[in-house]
Amino acid sequence: MTTRPRSSRDQAERGSVAVDLAVGYVPIMVLVALVVVVCVRYASAAIDVNAAAAAAARQASIARTAGGASSSARDLAATMLADRQITCRPRTVVVDLASMRPGGTVSVTVRCTVKLSDLYGLGLPGTVTITGSSVQPVDTYRADSRSGTFATARPSRANTGSPARARADGEVLQ
């Protein structure tokens, strides 16, 4: 087996891969790591806003009056977002009570404008708006707070004309 004699040029390039790695690849890997951190922080903020919307909708669905539903949903969303690490300025909570009746639904939409510097911790300029929505059913068998009786949704009629019966878990039987 013959070996090629080493030239002075080969000796001069020795260790150049380490320099290429330090100069080229390390900054790219740091940038990739920062992008991953940014994505995780944004996803965490979106999860917080969606959780606040879901909790507010649930709170509104168990309220007895429309005024109480709206105010309790707004208060709960504000409390939940205040406990998180994101700063929502301004924050809007839209409570849709148009279908608030036994068997109906309540929906809540939370819009949160977050400064990028608060979200990422990197001092980035600008803002991003994160929106979360949730729809919760209003209990079909709920007590009427004024009379103390149970108010139920009127059962629907099937195509056959027979009255439908509702089970305790909400499933409609024909």
Cβ distance 87 to 45 under 8 Å? no
Q: What is the pLDDT of residue 120?
A: 67
How many beta carbons lie within 10 A of that of residue 169, not counting itself?
A: 6
Give me the residue label for tokens 């108010």: 151
pTM of the model: 0.68
For residues 101 and 139, is the Cβ–Cβ distance under 8 A?
A: no
Could you give the CA distance from residue 32 to residue 129 in angstroms, rounded to a whole number? 24
The pLDDT profile of the chain, 174 residues, written as one tens digit per residue, is 666 666 555 566 665 677 777 777 888 888 888 888 878 888 888 999 999 999 999 999 998 888 889 999 999 999 998 877 777 778 899 999 988 888 889 999 999 888 777 766 677 788 889 999 999 999 887 655 555 444 555 554 444 444 444 444 444 444
